[in-house]
Structures are given as structure tokens and as C-alpha cells.
Structure 1
Amino acid sequence: MTVAKTQETSIQGKGEVSAMNRMLLVPFGTLFSLVALAAAAGQQPAMPKYFVNSPLCKMPYVDPFSADVMAIYKKIKLKDCHNDSELVTAEYDPKLKQYRVHTRLDLARKMAKENVTLECGYQKIYRDGNATIPDDAYRMSKVIPLTDNLVVPNDVEYITTRCFLNSSNSKNHKSNITQRDAMTFVQDHLTPEELVHSFRLLNDEQDPKPNVIILGIDSTSRINLRRTMPQVLRFLKNLPGWFEMQGYNKVGDNTLPNLLAILTGDNHVENIEAGKFKVRGFEDSLDYIWQHFKEAGYTTAYAEDCQSLSTFNFHKPGFIRQPVDYYLRPFVRAIEKTLKLERRFETIFCVGRHISSGYVWDFAVQFVQRLLEETPMFGVFWSNSFTHNVFSAGSAMDHLFREYLLLLLKLGLFKRSIVLLVSDHGYRFGNIRTRTKSGYLDERLPMMWLYVPPWFRKKYPHYVANLRKNRNRLSSNYDVHMTLQHILQLNTRSHEAFDARIKAKKCPNCRSLFFELPENRSCSEAGITEKWCTCHPTTTVTNRTQYMAVARAVVQGMNQHLVAKKLTHLCENFQLNSVEVMDRKEILGERSTTAATEHVYVLNFQTVYKKPKFEATVRWNPRSSTLKMNVDELSRKDSYSATAKCVKDSLVKKYCICKKLPGKQHK
């Protein structure tokens, strides 16, 4: 497959194309980028060399369309999850301020190709707060008749539906055609007093409360977004007000530490390694930013698809108390247990008649549609299903996600809201990590786009000027956390003016993106450990004696770690098979004496049994031949789903190669 290469600059232009969303034509301005101008003049624009270029950080630019990546990239066409028409539909009645549900007898007769009657019912879904693990529990009511034009009661937030077509020509008076579906309803639970207070917050000219909506797509680097989702990228570039943080660097391995850094100002790596997240109630004890927004009068929401991969539930008990006002977890749990599932892209993709992520984005649309004019909103909407395991799968969802963005535009979200389009990290394993040069950077550079609305750009031009400056400066999740804290007190003039209690715990000097970030900033100053830092140039070590000595020490350290963790009865002992490459990092700004006594290496190697591929960032003292390494920080470059079934700890899964045990698999 041939994909035309495109160049980019950090210079923002105006919008360029018109976009159709269902029956809505959304006009934009015209984009004249530097690339287009160069192309018109017959010139080939030069690639930028760095995303960030300072004495302490030289973050290399990555070409999304390099030959090694395009050799394994294949655009994927989206296949629908159903080929029938919806027999049950819902709409919001603005006069009643309630939802109506309709049954479609006309469509049922077309499906059956005969005269039939339609019999439908629904079951209410709700969270079982009394269960031992409430996040894994849900309850469903008895089947309630669903008549046409039914006004949904205010206490019904989630339902599943089922319909039968009754035919007089059938012996049992019921045809074989039946349809199951599921729906969400964002009901308004504000009291009259709360409505008055919320209206005042929304319309306070002196201290306006912007809505904050975070849209998250798992495992999407800023590089892969360009490769797989060009229509979404075009939307972002064409709507004035978006700023891309091209120097954004992740701070943890997988979703949990990276999302926690945004939501709590702490990645909690120590607590993750100590297993505290397995303790029931621990997650409830953390200080989430949505709690601060709730205290400020906001209505809050959190939604995530793929209940087995959910950030706060993957091998963890999740929340005891419902963490936000509108929480999709019980609905997702219920529909994945009761509706037909179809796997694509190595995970659950279709749930019933719909794409898994569609339930999340529909919920986000409902949240905005229902509450935009009533209360300040804070919502996090996160999708795992189509990007988690296959790096090219985003291409299948490009046009569909763009349609959701256009629908949110039509609803008015971008008039007064601050919106973040983010990811947790790039691809951590698979072909792009094992077969491309850019995989190392792709994993560490998630996308981060921040949108500020017209009124904000007019009222706070100095903040907008800082956003422009910050686009190509080193930033991290902790800066995003401080940005969210800043939104709650926009009149704060400096980072020093913030109460110390709300500064990011893991990075007290990290600051809001509305403030100018230091131009000459190191990874440690941004709260990024050396394992994940992309700022330092590397040189490949060609001395075999040197890299083999480091590799043997690393493997020995891994075996010692298995003993310390008491895993030797489950996990195979490691033996070095081969070294793919070892690079030495040049730590910018480090004293020459320190560099001479301790080298930082990135080692890519393979061990014998099952031939797993690992990447380790280590410190090595060449004089004493001693090693400093955190085994829990090891990166696994190939999938470990088939080799780690004997353990449930997400950290251990990366490096445990399960033994073949006689009889039943060891639990």
C-alpha cells in the first residue's frame, strides 16, 4: 500500500476543508500551511530535526511514514457490527426534559417481509453498591414492557432491550427474528437550588467556569495519529483553538500511571509495584481532579469501554464508591455479560449491535447535549477497544471518530469548553516496537491536543501566547494536571501563587500549560524518569565484550528478582539468547565525571525459553562492572498474553515466562 508522505510544522494555520456530519455541513476557513506553499512552489519542505531542541533536551522528530513502518502498516476498513435496522430508538424531548423511546413497527415489517406485530421490553441496569466489589457488580430489573413513545423515568440511566416479531403465519406466533440492544440516558438529577447555582456559575462574566472534556484514545502516539487518523488530524488543524504539545513525553509504562499523573498529580509507581492497587478501597483514597471540579460546582462523568481492560479495574478491584456523577462502568459490565460479543483487533470490538467505543462516545454526546446549558461539566471519556493491540486499527475508526467530533461541534461544545484529546502512550509491544527504528520514540510520545474556546482566547491572550510557546517545549502529564488545577482558578497569575497542596506531588515544579514552560528543561524537571525520557542522544555500542557483559548482568538481575518475588515456582529462569542492540545515552547537562563513572544504556535483548524480547534501561559502572536496574520497569516488546497466563499481576506479566506445569494450569 502506498501512502503519500506529508510534512508538518509547528506553525498553526487556519482551517481548510468543509466537513459533513450526517445532515450537518460545517464550514471552516482555508488552511495555507507552509507545506502547501512549498509544494505550490515546487519545493520539497525540509523535515524538522527535533520536536524539542534545547541544551537539555533534543527530542528527535519522527517521520510517521518512514519506509520500515509503512512496510508493516496496512489501512483497515471498518466493518459494521450489524446489518439490520434499529427496532428501538431514543430521543431527548427538550420540552419535557426527558427521553422518549420509540419502537419501530414499520421497520420490523420490512425486516420480516410480512404483517407482524412488535413486542418489546427493557431491563434497567444499575450499580450494586452493596456488593463486595461494586465495580464488578451490577443488577438488572425484571423485563418491563416497552411501548411506543415511552417517556423514560428519571431514575432509569441504563437499559437493555429485546424485541420479538409476532406473526400470525407462525405456528407459535413468534418468528425467529429477535433483536437485543442497549441504551444510556444522561438524566438530570439537579435540584432547583442546584440548577440556579449552576446557571450562575455558567454565566459569571468575572469568573467563568469553562466545561472541561477529556477525550482519550488508548495507545495513540502523536506520530501514529498522523498515520492512522488523518481525518481527525484535519479536524484538529482546521478548528482554531487547538494546540498540540509536540514535546509531550509520558511518565509511566501503561495506562494507569500515565492517567493517574493527569488525574491526581502522582503516577503512584511505588504503590503499583507494592501491589496497593489490589487492595479494596485503595483507589477510592486517591485525590482525583474530578473531586476538585465537583467541589467547584461541576457535574462529573467517567466512561471507558472494554471492562476487562478498564484502567481502574484491570486485575484491580476498582472503586467501592461511585467516583463521579455519571459512571458508565456498570452499563459496560452488564452489556458485555448479556449481549453478543465479537472480537476484532485482538480485543472485544462489537458489543451487541454496536462498536464498543461507540457506547463511550454516545455517552459523551448525551452528557454534552443534556447538560451543556445547565451546569459546568467535567468529563473523561476513554476508549481502548480499537487501538489497544493493533497499531494500524485506528485507521478503521478515523472517519467515525471525526463524525463524533463534528457532532460535538454542532452541539456547541467548542463554544465555551476546554477540550483535551489525549492518549496514555504509544504502542508498547508488537511489530512497531520489534521491527521499526521509531518504535522506541512512538511508545514514549503520546498525543496531547488542548483546545481553548473563542471567549478564552479573547479574555486570556497571555495564556494563549504561552500555549504557542509551549508546543515545542518538553512537557509531561504533570503539566496537564496543573493545567486542570489552573482551570479551577484561572486568575492565578503564576505557578508560585498556587497553594502547595494542589501542586503535582511527583513534580512540584511542573506547571500549567497556560504558563510558559522553561525553554531549557530536563526530563527530571518535568517529572520524567530516565526510562521514559526521549531527550538524550544515543550512540550504538559496537564492542561485543562490553554489551555482552551488561546483558549477562541484566539477565542475572532478572533471575534474582524472580527469587525475591517468590516466582520461581511459576516462572522460567532466564538465559540470554541474543543481544539485538545496545545504545548508550548521552545525558545532556550531566557532569563529565558522572558520565565517566556511570553509563546509561538501553539494552534490547532476547532470552531463550519462548524467546521473549525485552528492553531495559540501566545504569552501568564500567569500573566496578556493577548494574543498577529496576526489573519492574522492563519493557516487553512482544505480546505477553500467551506466555504469562499463570500470573495476574500486570507488572509481573511483562517478564514472567510461565513454566509448563503438569495437569491443570497453575492458578
Structure 2
Amino acid sequence: MLELTAGLPPMMLLNPMMRRHAKALLAVVTALLVVTAILETHESYVNKLKDEFYKEHMTGPQAVINSACVLPRYEPYDPSIMHFIKSWPKIDCGSPQPPLTYVDDKGYLHINKTAVPKLKYPWEKLGCYHYEIIRLKNDDDRIKLGPGKVFFDPERLPHEFSVVRCLEEPRKKLIYETGYAQIKEMPKSLSNKSEAAARNGRVNALIFVFDSMSRLNFIRQLPKTSKFIQERVKGFVMEGLTKVGDNTYPNMLSLLSGFSASRYRNEKALRPFWGNASAPRGYFDDLPALWKNFSQNDYVTMFSEDFPKFTAFNYNAHGFKVPPTDYYMRPFWLAMENQKHRLSKDFRCYGNVPKYKFLLNYVKDFVCKMQKEGHAFFSLTFLTHLSHDHINSIKIIDDELLLFFESLEVLNVFRNSVVIIMGDHGNRFDPIRGTVIASSVQKSDLGELAQESTFGSTLEEAELLMTDSHLVEPLVDEDEVSLFVELELLLPSPRQIGGSLRGASSPQLGGNAS
């Protein structure tokens, strides 16, 4: 028997059951070897990228911005990335519904008589109603609509946020739906204080954040807007502004509070994901946010974002129990996402209106009211929907953004305000990330500070922001976020909120704006 089996392969010596197990084991070992090889290849590729990066960009005098730090210099149209720069389809809302209503500049709702003939139903059989959008108490994720009220053309919309619907009677078939966001009247006490602050020379602060936008991609995709900021209003480019975390939350946390998400995990104000007595799990009401500093110095405050599912403080959390600023647009966006009649073929639209227009119109209306009535104000605007996923998608609104910033110029915003245009981080999803340049600029944010030179002596502190257009101090320096500190310097009496001021050991929290 031994002589008969001596020349057979080891597998043949096993019974059928053992052979099956042996084959399975062999398959697992082979798969592990393949995965290991892939990981080693990827690691080798990453190391090669790093070597090329340092060799090409981190040596020699051309790489030195100043003595504090050595940063690479890139061209926005470097040949190595140009094949990633492509055209992008323009927004086409189509005609899911005629533009049946509009609101004039005095807040009156009208029937658009030119659209009536386009209806498939007799006008006499239609009933149109407006509904107040109501934020539920202590809830940042849910809204409800108030009772529908028949409107007569024209009629003043009485609410900050409204939904308008037209139904075919008597079947109550929905044929038209849209939303309107207005700038509500503020309490008299806030109005008086903010007017006094403006008369005393307080400087307004406006921050515009483009999600996933690096400085180079801003130049490539929004050339008209970029040229306006740098040449028309003489904006300063912060070439060394860098991110401190992978996604929006840690970067905006540092910008708005002076805290590092990882370092201050045990602070009372930064436990929304872990929960504490005064701020139940997932809420950020105790966050010592920058808008509180301005609110305590008698500013009117505003916070608006355009993508309710993925906002800075609601993604994997619950946002704020109490509205964090005097003007807060989130309830409007939640209502628009819940629309039953948004039948546009383009996901970038609500009905027949592009989503970005709701955001830009609201911000423009807010700034216009603040400037014309003479209020000191702080605003934070976050544009995510058109810039987050793809590097090329934002280019389709370059003309509209140019018109928007030109409208701010007409309102003299750049003469009595610090305007910061920035990204929270570079792109995280587009294929361009595989290039040497993109792997570096993904860590760098867009940072431009726009102002005209007419501030005069009332803005001596603000000059700290302008001393070197090559801002190379990292966003977080130990306990301190430099941009957060410099914004605080615009205030006459900065509070020790967060970890921002030197020597501040713990937050001294102020109340929420309401």
C-alpha cells in the first residue's frame, strides 16, 4: 500500500471531506495574500506620491512663503490635473409647474397672471393657500405646517417662512407648491442695540463657506467671482489656511469655537455626541460658538445652510434645541425637502426654482435689511449642495455668484464689513484626489478676506488679518484657532468663550440668541 501511494500528491492522500476543507483553506490563504499585495502596492504608491511631493514642492526658495512655514506653490491650471477639469450640465428645472405666484419686495404675495394661461385647469376651479412653516419646540429636525389660509391677490405674507399651495377644487388635487423665506422683523430691543452698535463703529462680519472647496479649485471653477474678490474689492488671499479634520464638523467646530474636536472631547460644551445634563445627546446648544460672541456685543446674527441632511451640526447629531441665531433658515429647508409636488427632473431644483437661489436670495435680503436699517450684524452662510461631491459642479453658478457679490458691493458691505470667503476643506470624493497636487490641496481650504480700504482707524484690530496675505499659521495652534481669535478682535470686548483667548482655561458660556 505504501508503495502504491508514495508517488501521489498530498491532496490525493486525503479523503473527500478533508480535500474540500483543504481547498477552502487554500482559497482563504490566497485571498489574504492578494489583499496584502494590494495594500503593500497602495502603501508604496502613497509613499511615492509623498516623495514626489516633497522633492518637487517642499525644497528650494520658491516654496518658502515666509519664515514661519514652508508650503508648496501650485498653479491652478497645472497640466497634471487639467484632464479632470470638465464642463458640467447646467441646471434645468424644466416645467414641472408654471411659476404661478411671486412675492414682491414689500412682502406681498401675488398671482403671476402671465402663468395662468399655462395651467391645465380653469382658474375658477383653483384654490390657493399659504401655510406657516413652524419649527417644533426643542427640535431641530422636524417642522409642521400651520393651518392653510386662503390668499387673495395681493396679500402680505405674515410669516418668516411659508409654503404656498394651489389645489384643484373640489378634488383637492395639488397642482402647485413652492416656499417663500422672508426676513422677519426683529424685536425692538435687539433693533435698538444693534443700531447703537453700528453707530459706535462696530464692524460687520460675513462668512461664506463653500463646502469641499480648495483655493485652487475656487480659481478654476469660479474665475469671475475670484477676479471680483481679488481685483475689484482687493481681497486678501490666505494661501496657507489649512484644515484640522477630515470633514465639515471638526473644521467648522474649530472655526466657530476655537476648540479642537479631538482635544476638547471632555469639555461640557463639546459633549453633544456623548450627552450631558444641560445638553442632551446630540445637541450643540452649549457650544461656545462665535455667533454668541457677536450676539453678546449687540449684533444681529444669522446662520443659513442649504443641505438639511448634511449640515455641520445635524449630520449624525440633532443640531440645536433652541435656534442658535436670530435668523435661522433650517426650518425652511426642511419644509422644502418635504414637498409633495417637486416634480422637477433636476434634483438641484425645488419645483421650477434652483435650490441655490433660495439661499442667495435669503442672504441678500438679510444683508440688505441690515445695511439699510443700520444694524451691526454677523452672518454665516454655508453652500454645500453644488460644491460637495464634484470639483466641477459649482462652476455653473459663477455668473450668479458674481452678481450676488456685486449686489453686496452696491450695498457698501465691503466698506463696513469683514467678508470671509472660504472652504471647510478640499474635495474628498472626486477622482482628482489621486493626483499629487490634489492630495495636498485637499488639506488646504479656500481662504479669502475681502474688504475695501475705507475702514480707517476704527479697524486697527482688523489689520491683524491683513498684515500678510500668505496666512500660514495653522488653523489650530495648541489651544487656539487663529482665525477665530482674529474675528474676535473685531469686537470691542471679546468674551472668553471657548479655548480661543490666551489664558482661557474653560468656557464662559453666554445665552442663546432667540
Paired position in structure 2 for 1:309: 310
The separation in 1 between residues aligned to 2:92 and 2:133, in whole angstroms, is: 26
Structure 2 match to 1:412: 412
> Is 1:483 aligned to 2:486, yes or no?
yes
Query: SS in structure 1 opposite 2:378?
Result: strand
- Structure 1 match to 2:6: none
Q: Which residue identity lines up with residue 101 of structure 1 in the other structure?
A: L
1:145 maps to what in 2?
Answer: 150
Q: Write out per-residue CA displacement over residues 207-254 of structure 1, whole angstroms, 9 at most, x where no aligned residue.
A: x11221111110000011111111111111222341111111112211
Match of 1:227 in 2: 220
1:124 and 2:132 matched: yes
Q: Does 1:158 align with 2:171?
A: no
Instruction: Note the alpha carbon deviations across 1:313-372, whole angstroms, 9 max, x for none.
Output: 11111111111111111111121012527697xxx5223333333222221111112222
Pairwise mapping of residues 573-592 of structure 1 onto structure 2 (< 5 A)?
none
* Counterpart for residue 528 of structure 1: none
For 1:456, the equivalent position in structure 2 comes to 455
User: Which one has the bigger strand percentage?
Assistant: 1
Residue among 170, 176, 179 paired with 2:176: 179
Deviation at 1:300, TM superposition (A): 0.8
1:81 counterpart residue number: 93
Shift of 1:188: 1.1
Counterparts of 2:345 and 2:219, CA distance in 1: 26
Mapped pair 1:350 → 2:369: no
1:189 aligns to 2:194 (yes or no): no
Give aligned pairs, total.
Answer: 429
- Secondary structure at the aligned position of 1:455 is classed as coil
Higher gyration radius (CA): 2
Equivalences for residues 495-534 of structure 1 within 5 A: 501-502=496-497, 504-505=499-500, 508=502
Deviation at 1:164, TM superposition (A): 4.7
Asked whether the 8 Å contact 2:462–2:490 carries over to 1, the reply is no
How far apart, in 2, do the equivalents of 1:465 and 1:281 lie?
Answer: 36
Partner residue, 2:42 = none
Give the match for residue 391 of structure 2. 391
C-alpha separation in 1, matches of 2:181 and 2:318: 24
CA contact (8 A) 2:419 2:449 kept: yes
Aligned pairs for 1:28-107 (under 5 A) are 52-55=64-67, 57-83=69-95, 86-93=99-106, 99-107=107-115
1:387–1:394 CA contact under 8 A, matched in 2: yes
Deviation at 1:298, TM superposition (A): 0.8
More off after superposition, 195-204 vs 476-485: 195-204
Q: Give the Cα separation in 1 of the matches to 2:122 and 2:467.
A: 63
Query: Which structure is richer in relative contact order (CA contacts within 8 A, separation 6 or more)?
Result: 2
Aligned to 1:400: 400
Aligned to 1:360: 359
C-alpha contact 1:52 1:473 (8 A) present in aligned 2: no
Task: State whether residues 108 and 165 of structure 1, in contact with CA within 8 Å, keep that contact through their aligned partners in structure 2.
Answer: no
| Residue aligned with 1:67, SS | coil
Which of the numbers 259, 263, 273 marks the counterpart of 1:277? 273
Instruction: Tell me the residue number matched to 2:321.
Output: 320
Q: 1:64 to 1:341 in 2, by over 3 A?
A: farther
Q: SS of the residue aligned with 2:301?
A: strand
Paired residue secondary structure (2:442)? helix
Q: Distance in 1 between matches of 2:253 and 2:263?
A: 13
Q: Secondary structure at the match of 2:102?
A: strand
User: Secondary structure of 1:481's match?
Assistant: helix
- CA pair 467-415 structure 1, distance change in 2 beyond 3 A: closer
Identity %: 23
Bigger mean CA deviation after superposition, 112-121 or 285-294:
112-121
Counterparts of 1:215 and 1:151, CA distance in 2: 31
1:90-120 residue CA offsets vs partner (Å, 9 max, x unmatched): 1233xxxxx21111123212x2499744642
Matched-pair contact (CA < 8 Å) for 2:242–2:445: yes
Structure-2 change in CA distance of 1:276 and 1:502 (3 Å): closer
Contact 1:357–1:384, Cα closer than 8 Å, also in 2: no
**Equivalents in 1 of 2:146, 2:103: separation in Å?**
20
Matched, 1:260 2:268: no
* Structure 1 contact 307–333 (Cα < 8 Å) conserved: yes
Distance in 1 (alpha carbons) for counterparts of 2:253 and 2:451: 23
In structure 2, the gaps of 5 or more residues are 1-59, 276-280, 505-514
Does residue 296 of the first structure (1) align with residue 297 of the second (2)? yes
C-alpha distance in 2, partners of 1:138/1:177? 20
Gaps of 5+ in 1: 1-47, 94-98, 167-171, 491-497, 511-667
Q: Kindly tell me: are residues 470 and 502 of structure 1, through their superposed partners in 2, closer, same or farther at Cα, counting changes over 3 Å?
A: farther
When residues 49 and 387 of structure 1 are mapped into structure 2, their CA distance, relative to the original with a 3 A threshold, is: farther
Residue 457 and residue 244 in structure 1: after superposition, are their counterparts in 2 closer, same or farther (change >3 A)? farther
Q: In angstroms, what is the RMSD of aligned CA positions?
A: 3.1
Q: Is the 8 A contact 2:257 2:287 kept in 1?
A: yes
Conserved in 1, the CA contact under 8 Å of 2:76 and 2:220? Answer: yes
Distance 2:472 2:297 in 1: 31
Contact 1:485/1:502 (CA < 8 Å) preserved in 2? Answer: no
Amino acid of the structure 1 residue aligned with 2:326: D
Instruction: Tell me: CA distance 1:264–1:51, structure 2 relative to 1, closer, same or farther (3 Å).
Output: farther
TM value normalised by structure 2: 0.76
Other-structure match for 1:371: 370
Match of 2:273, SS state, is helix
Distance in 2 between residues matched to 1:316 and 1:285, nearest whole Å: 14
Q: In the aligned structure 1, how far is the partner of 2:225 from the partner of 2:472?
A: 24
Between 1:240-249 and 1:458-467, the stretch displaced more is 458-467
Distance 2:162 2:63 in 1: 47
Deviations 1:386-421 (A, max 9, x none): 111111112122122222212222333223222111
SS at match of 2:304: strand
Deviations 1:162-212, CA, capped at 9 Å, x for gaps? 23578xxxxx899x9932111101111221x543333222122xxx11221
Shift of 1:71: 1.3
Note closer, same or farther for the CA distance 1:185–1:502 as it changes in structure 2 (3 Å cut). Answer: same
Cα 1:201/1:364, change in 2 over 3 Å: same
Contact 1:482 / 1:503 at 8 angstroms: preserved in 2?
Answer: no
CA contact (8 A) 2:233 2:414 kept: no
- Contact kept, 8 Å, 1:224 with 1:442, in 2: the verdict is no
Residue 119 to residue 466, structure 1, CA distance change in 2 (3 Å): closer
After superposition, the C-alpha distances for 1:55-101 in whole angstroms (9 at most, x for unaligned) are 552110112212231112202142232446522111233xxxxx211
Equivalent AA in structure 2 for residue 64 of structure 1:
P
The whole-number CA distance in structure 2 between the counterparts of 1:277 and 1:198 is 34
Distance of 2:405 and 2:503 partners within structure 1: 34
Give the partner amino acid of 1:108: V
Paired residues of 1:249 and 1:446 also in contact (CA < 8 A): yes
Q: What letter is aligned with 2:93? A: C
- The one-letter amino acid paired with 1:481 is F
Which residue in 1 is equivalent to 2:9? none
**CA spacing shift, 1:251–1:85, aligned 2, 3 Å:** same
Name the CA distance, whole Å, in 1 between partners of 2:66 and 2:164: 58
2:87 partner SS: coil
1:336 aligns with 2:337: yes
